[in-house]
Structure formats: structure tokens, C-alpha cells
Chains A and B, each alone.
Chain A
Amino acid sequence: MKFDKAAGENTLFDNAEVVGRPTHRVDGPLKVTGTAPYAYERHDVAEGQLYGYPLGSAIGHGRIVSMDAEAARNSPGVRAVVTTLEIDPLEKGMNNVARLFGGAEVQHYHQAIAVVVADSFEQARAAASLIEVEYEKGDPEDYDLGAAFERLQGSGEMDTDTGDVESALSGAAVMLDEMYHTPSHSHMAMEPHASVVDWSDGDRMTVWTSNQMINWNHGSLATTFGLDKEKIRVESPYIGGGFGGKLWLRADAVLAALGSRAAGAPVKVALPRPMIMNNTTHRSETVQRIRMAAGEDGKLTGIWHEAASHTLPDGRGENATAQTPYFYASEAIRTKHHTVSMSLPESADMRAPGEASGLMALEIAMDEMAEKLGMDPVAFRKLNDTQVNPSNPDQRFSDRHFVECLERGAATFGWADRNTAPGATRDGQWLIGHGVAGAYRGALVLPSGARALLEGGKLVVETDMTDIGTGSYTILAQTAAETMGLTLDDIEMRMGNSAFPVSSGSGGQFGAASSSAGVYAACMALRARIAEELGVEEPEFREGRVIAGNTNRALSELEGEIDAVDSIEWGDFQDEYQMATFGAHFVEVGVHAGTGETRVRRMLAVCDSGRILNPVTARSQVIGGMTMAVGAALSEDMALDSGRGMFANHDLAGYEVAVHADIPEQEVIFLDTLDPVASPLKAKGVGELGVCGVAAAVANAVYNATGVRVRDYPVTLDKLIGGLPPLG
């Protein structure tokens, strides 16, 4: 199906009975009973599984001179040891920047350099510790991103350069020029990267893994091992969190494959928690400079946002300027992202790559500008809203209700009642503050396919789409039920398997809109097949029946299997529009006047992201994003050891994500918007919008509470206590 014009009157979804209804996730019972089969627990899929345990490099970069695995090979229960020196450097799969295995070169700390395969997990782990490695360390490197930014700023061709920014800044009535910093962030999914691989015969390979993008993974495995894709099957039906950390092929699957071939048996490998920080990818640290100019009337006249992030050579880093060309109206906008090559673990995508970091800075800057102007920060943002792309004014937003998000949020939160004087509201020893921030995240879509098979009134839908905890099983079942006039009980979703039609996969907030459109396309193709078989024109499908003219048949009465495969293809007309999602976040914090401890007291998000396919799972996505952003605001920090070129904290005790006690009342409001340009369902994603802007709302609330402006995340107490007012 080609989506080649905006969705018009749409009786199917505009009058939906299943789509859009609050629906608990259909896979919920499997999850709460612990029976959803996650990768490492696929004990049943292959006989005689062995355990692989990885060894990571002990240096940040350099070369391996020698490896002695003799003791490991002779250790009890060990079936095979594969060291990186025995293997030619493996080809890199799609979007992999660091090499996953093979050869003597070490590009980053904890890069996989060996796998030990044994009868038991404990045997493999013990043996791995016996491998002796001699290294030659690389030359010392400079890991100071701030210094790199100083060197690079202003250089190179700007990414966006609209209007005359320099004039706007030089003649401005009100002007801001500040530096901001966000540290590196780890995805830290609850489920570590894990795979079971059967490549026993060195020919056909089956991979049971935890991966967001089946087709990319499939292709990367083929590239890495020089196999035909037809010889590889990938399954990833349940994923215990991805957040972008499982978009690409990672070392768990590569090591399990090599171990399987060496041992002649299926092998499972999970990356140990202490290897997650340095072996897998992360969101890069950013250094950002924002300059803004505005007139006395509060209208922005210039924005110059320049940023740097680290990456291994040829990587993309974290482009913190991603939202700046689009979010606020300004005649002059200049942005530039500098990538700085550093021998650190691979930086790559993490939930809302670009915008998450960029809005952490931009939305503090907006708060600061509002204060300089003497304006309310909600009013200031409303004033600078735009319905066209500011860096390309001929391009309209397909559907944008940012102002409504701010207004609805302010009214619901009680924003008008806040004390605008920083440091002036107390509750015992706690200083109370309120903050607001805007949220922006693009609404990318990708082609997505599915197969729909009807038999005996039951519909099976197959697609390689994944559910990373987002609710894909549920929203796709809802979409199929709606399209076929069936109930949820009639639908069986089969997902996350490379044997099924290629979907968008899960990432970049494109999954929900893309894959629901793909399932819709497949179901519409099935409807056409059924109509053809019955010899009727444009039948209706409702209440389990197909109805056209004199024909009125129960789908359960149709003979045999009827199936159809189709995918959604996206038309060029979407390029005429800027498609994005919008939100406003309101936060109340308490900051202890003595210790500087910050505790969030309440949070509100208002989201404009098109049709909400399922308010239950969408809300879960948004509050999950808000929770992640509380961590980013207050505690998450991959602690860089700049002498060693590695991240020193290594587990969930040292890398502090928000815990239950950190998360108070969270409210989410979805505006009842429809975006006819975005998809046939008029839907857009929401899973990344929820993380955007929230951290800045927290930081702005801390400023309102204390009068201390922190531009360096996380906003920890050591950055506050020097400036706190005296104890009352």
C-alpha cells in the first residue's frame, strides 16, 4: 500500500471501536507470570545448549600482544575458547562503528576479546578469568570534550544557517550566551544484551536474541560472518528494554555464534552487567553553546546552537542541535554539531537521540531568556511558536499543537499559582520550585510489512516487528481487529522473527506509526482477497462478518486459509511537511535547603502526537520516558576516567537511574489530535517524546526552588550547596 496522500475522512479509525481504546497489553499475563520467553531463557529452542562467557579488554585502546588461554582451555567443563587473535577482524554490520570481534586492535575498554564456552555458566565464567592477556597500550589521549569544543567552535560548514544570525545577536535587545553540558548516558536495559546461537555446523545459523531491529540484525549477521541471509534466522519475540542499545548487532550474538561454531553446539551468551557500560553503546556526552537574541517584545530574532559529542572514527555521535532548526520561530537560526574522535566505547543512539540531549540545554536556555525578558516561560514559548519550519518557511508542520500543550498543562498543573521568585517558597527545610519545558521529537516513518492469515474466523498476523516493552503486540492486534471487524480475542500476533515480513522495527519513535500502518496494509490486502473470493465489491467488515449487498457471511464460515502480504510505503508528499511530535512538561521539586538533595514531587506531561492507538500503553511509554529523564536530570552520569579512557561506574548501584522512591505522582494528558499526513491511522509515535524536555523542566524547577542555575547535568547536590540560601 502506498500512502501517497493525506488520510481524509476515515470511517475505520475515526469511528474506531478497538483502536484508541484503553487496552491492557495482550502479552501482560506472560510477563507477570514470568513465562514470556526472553532470549537467555530459550532453553527449549535447541538441545544441548552450552554457556559462553565473554572477556573484555582491560585497556582503553591499543593492541593485544599475546593471549594465553591454555589454563582456560584446561579448566573443568570447558568445551571451547575463541580468542580475538585467532579470528580475522570481522566485517562490521550496519551502523556498527566499533569492531565487535577479531584481530589485535583494541578500540575501547571492555571490547570483547575472547569467549569461553563450557557446560555450565559458572565453569565458563571461572575459566574466562584465567585467560592471560598482554597488551600494548595506545598513546595517551585527550578526553576533554569541552576543550575540543573550544577548538572546533565556529569551524566547518554550518548544518543550518538561515538568516543573519550574527547581526541578530549583535543588535539584540536581549541576549543569552551560555555553555551547557550533558554527561554520557547508558541505556541500562533491565535485560542485558543476550543471545542463544546455533551455528553448530558452521553453515546455517539460528539466533535467538534481544534486538529491536530484526532485519538490520539479520543483515548485519550476514555481513559479519559472510553468510547468505537465507542461511540465517533471527528471533527476538520479547525484549526486556532496548532504548536504542539493541538497535544493532552486538557482541553477545557474535560471541555466541563463534562459540557455537567452535564447540559444535548451541551457545548462549549474556553480557555481564559490569560490561554493559563499556562494551555496548551509549549516548555521548555533549558540550553545547547556545546563543539567543530577542526583541523587547519577547520574539526570538536569532538562535545559534553549536554542540560537540564524542565518537569513534566514522560514528555519528549525539547531535544535540537536532531540534533547534524546527522548534521555535526565529528568522535567523544557525546550528552545528561537531563530532570529536575519542577512543571511548562506541557512542550511538539512545532514546530520542539528539533531541534528548539538545532539549536538556535548549529548554534551560529558554527559561533563562524568559527571565531576562521578564516574561513567564510558558508565555514566552507560546509567543515563539511556529506553524512552519523556521529554517524552511515554505514547509508547514503537518500538525502542531505545541501551544495547546502549554496551555492545557499550565491550567492543569496550576502554573499561574507558582511563586516566580527563585528560592522563596519553603516547606519546612525544603525549598519548593516549579519548572516547565517544551518537548519536540521528529515523527519519522519507515516502510513496514506484515502478513495477515485468516482461518476459521481467527486472524494470525505475522511481522518481524518487535515489542521492546512498548506495547507493539497490543496496538498491532488492535489495528488488525479494527481493520477486520474482529475482536482482540480473534487475533494472534506473531512477531520478532526474520521469517516474517520486514517491518519498521522499534526505534526512533517510528515503530508504532509505521508498523500499525503496515498491519493495516496487510489487513486491507486480506480484505481485498476475501472480497475477490466472495465476488463482492467493497464489503464492510464488522462484528466478525463480511457484508456487501446480499452477502453477509461470518468470517468463521469462510473455507480454508486466506492470506495476504503487504507493506506500507510512504509517499513523497510527506516531504512537503515537517512531521514531529510536541509536548510540554511541568515539574515540581523540593530541594533540601541544607543538603541540596533534590526530590521530584509531581510531574505532568501534555503530549501532541497524533492519534493515540492505546492510551494505556502510550501512557506507559510517556511515564517511562519521564522517569528516564528524572535520572538524566538528577543522577545518571557515566563517570569518565580520563586517565584510562573508560567509564568507571559499572553497574546499577554506581550508575544511578531513578528508583521507585524517586518517582512521585505522574500525570499524562494526550491531546486528542489527528495527523492525517503522518499515517493512514493519523498516528505518530510517543515513546521518545516522553523523555524530551523533562530533564530541563526539572533543572528549571531546581532553579525556581533555589535560585541556583545549573547548566551542567546531572543537577547533583554538590553543584547546589555553594549557592543555597541560609537554613531557615
Chain B
Amino acid sequence: MRAFSYEKVSDPAQAAARAAEVEGAKFLAGGTNLLDLMKLEIERPAHVIDVNGLGLDEITETDEGGLRIGALVTNTALSADARIRRDYPVLTRAIAAGASGQLRNKATTGGNLLQRTRCPYFYDTAQPCNKRAPGSGCAALSEGAFSRQLGVIGTSDACIATHPSDMAVGMRVLDAMVETVTPEGMTRTIPLEEFHLLPGDTPEQESALMPGELITAVTLPAPVGGEQKYHKVRDRASYAFALVSVALIRQPDGTGRVALGGVAPKPWRSAAADAELPNGAAAVMAELLGGARPTEENAFKITLAERTLAAMLAEE
């Protein structure tokens, strides 16, 4: 961990302005990911802006009949909220499937969206990684590398990392929107679909946020009802990142939505795949994972995604 300066801010616009103003600044919320990465010298912020004093920790109803989730609402509070449990149960289920109780107590809504990949080569500073050290290469794509956990779609020749969040997969299937404040004090709204970027040639650029821009909330549209499930598949029963996770909303008429975690650099969903839901899991996955480029070690994820959805659809 490198020495850094620290400040605590009290206003979201001020936080964004300061972040744009000070070179190498990072926001600190729950710290469950950032602090670990700082200890490992993967993140080396020169300046840390503590946003925990900003409020932003309430869940309120929107005029459209949805919910606005403050960026500092913890994962525990969000998953336990009665309105979320009643009207957006896929989100509660997704959050509860992630991390551990202790981590969820600290992790925040905004921070969770911005958490970084768990690719083992991203974590080993002795190895090349285009995400951590742009231009150094991708160790995970080299001969003999370990890629079982990594992405199968949306990846590039520069990076095959996945986004590790469960919460984001639940939000994606609910058509969530990200609200931000810019350094100029303007607010804007980014659909979650557009929030995470695909790696292309620049895997170090992970989100649509501009320098200094701060997430203030995530909004959920009015409830869509239906049966809502989240199945996270992993090698052990708890405290592991998804090999594949499936968020499903299914209406009584068989239509619905599907989003995947554990397969791509962002929660993976498409309208065309959603439209195939009445035709079954194979049809959905042919659409959703049709362009997959897996490695030899992780090709099983394609079969696994289809079987997982099929099992969810077959459940009594």
C-alpha cells in the first residue's frame, strides 16, 4: 500500500469536484474491495476521498412507482428491505448469494457496481495484465494459463476477465438505472446496460463514469412482478464467485427476462434472448451466448448456463 492523502467530504457534488481536481483520487465507501487492492499494490490512489458522510443511505420511492437506492445503502440493508424483498425478490436473492455476511454489512450499492475483477492474474502484480497495467499483455490468455473462472463472451484479445458482482446481475434483469453527479455538479442517469464497458483494447476502462463522476443512486423501475429467481452456481456452497449465475424473471404467460453473471465483463443480457424465453433454455442461450469465445478450460460454462436456466424453468 502506498502512502496516500485522505479527506472526508459532505456533499456529493463537492466529492465529484474534488475527485476531478486531485490527481489519482479514488472514492472510498465500504472499502471491501478497494482496501484489499491497495494492500496488494493493485490500486495505488494518491488521494482517497471518503464518501461515507454523504448520506445517500436511504431507499425511497420514486414518482414512477419504483425505488431509488442510495449509493451508500449497504448490501445487507438493501437485500433485507421489505419493499425489495416483496417487489424485487431477484435482487435480494442475488445479493444474499454474494460474499459473506460480514462483507455485505460493509459493501455499498455504488461500490459493488464498481468492484473489480477477481482474475488471478489481475491480482498478481508480477504478471502481465492489461487491466492493471495497460499494454503489458494478458497472462490469462497465454499458453498453459489458468482460465477456468474467466469470461466466455464480451471478452477481447486484451482481456477475458469477468465482472464478479451478483447484485449487478439482479439489477440488470430489473432494468436498473445508475444516477450520478458530475464534477460540474450536473446529474445524469446511465442505464445499467451501458454502465459497464466491454474491454476491447482498453480493459482498464471499466465503466461509463467520467473522471470524478460519483454514483449517487441506483433506481429501479416500477415492479414487473412475475416469478423471480437467482441461481448462483459455484464449486462450494458459499463464499465463492459464480462459475455461472442466472437471474430470471418469468411471467405467468412464459415471457420474461434472463441475465447472466460469471460469464462476461458485465451482467449479460439481451432483448433477443429474453424474447426466446417461451421457447426454453436452449433457445435463450443460443441467442445470449451465441458469440461466445471460451477457453478450453471454461467452455463448460456455456453448457452450464443452459442447464442452470433449464433447471430453473423446470422447478416446481
Contact = CB atoms under 8 A, between A and B. Distances in A.
A419 interface: no
B240 interface: yes
Most buried by B among A596, A597, A658: A597
A274 B127 CA distance: 13
A118 to B, nearest CB: 12
Contacts of A717: 233, 235, 243, 300, 304
Interface in A690-728: 714, 716-718, 721-722, 724, 727-728
A659 B235 CA distance: 11
Interface in B274-316: 300, 303-304, 307-308, 310-312, 314-316
Contact of B303 (A125, A592, A721): A721
B289 to A, nearest CB: 15
Contact of A650 (B123, B237, B310, B314): B123
Interface stretch (B141-149, B210-218, B257-265): B141-149
Contacts of A727: 307, 310-311, 314
A147 interface: no
Contacts of A179: none
Nearest to A651: B123
Contacts of B40: 274
A644 interface: yes
Contact of A643 (B144, B238, B312): B144
A689 interface: no
A661 interface: yes
Contacts of A658: 236
Interface in A647-663: 648-651, 653-654, 656, 658-662
Given A428-B316, A429-B314, A650-B124, A599 B145 contact: no
Nearest to A133: B126
B231 interface: yes
A593 B145 contact: no
A122 B1 contact: yes
A644 B144 contact: yes
Contacts of B125: 129
B128 to A, nearest CB: 11
A22 interface: no
B39 interface: yes
Contact of A76 (B3, B39, B123, B304): B3
A585 B118 CA distance: 36
B123 A595 contact: no
A429 B146 contact: no
Given A643-B145, A648-B120, A717-B243, A635 B310 contact: no
Contact of A661 (B120, B142, B236, B243): B236
A649 B303 CA distance: 24
A662 to B, nearest CB: 5
B6 interface: no
Contact of A429 (B142, B148, B311): B311
Given A718-B300, A718-B304, A648 B146 contact: yes
Most buried by A among B1, B125, B237: B237
A656 B124 contact: no
B230 interface: no
Nearest to A631: B236
Nearest to B39: A125
B235 A595 contact: no
Contacts of A597: 233-234
A214 to B, nearest CB: 32
B27 interface: no
Nearest to B233: A595
Contacts of A716: 235
A36 interface: no
Interface string A52-96: 000010100000000000000000100000000000000000000
Contacts of A649: 120, 146
A722 B312 CA distance: 18
A45 to B, nearest CB: 26
B121 interface: yes
A126 B125 CA distance: 13
Contact of A635 (B118, B235, B307): B235
B44 to A, nearest CB: 9
Interface string B24-40: 00000000000000011
A642 B235 contact: no
Contacts of B194: none
A429 B39 contact: no
Interface of B: 1-3, 39-41, 118, 120-121, 123-127, 139, 142-146, 148, 231, 233-241, 243, 300, 303-304, 307-308, 310-312, 314-316
26 contacts: A125-B39, A126-B3, A274-B123, A429-B311, A593-B311, A594-B310, A594-B312, A634-B236, A635-B235, A643-B143, A643-B145, A644-B127, A644-B145, A648-B121, A648-B124, A648-B146, A649-B120, A649-B146, A650-B123, A650-B124, A653-B239, A653-B241, A656-B236, A661-B239, A727-B311, A728-B314
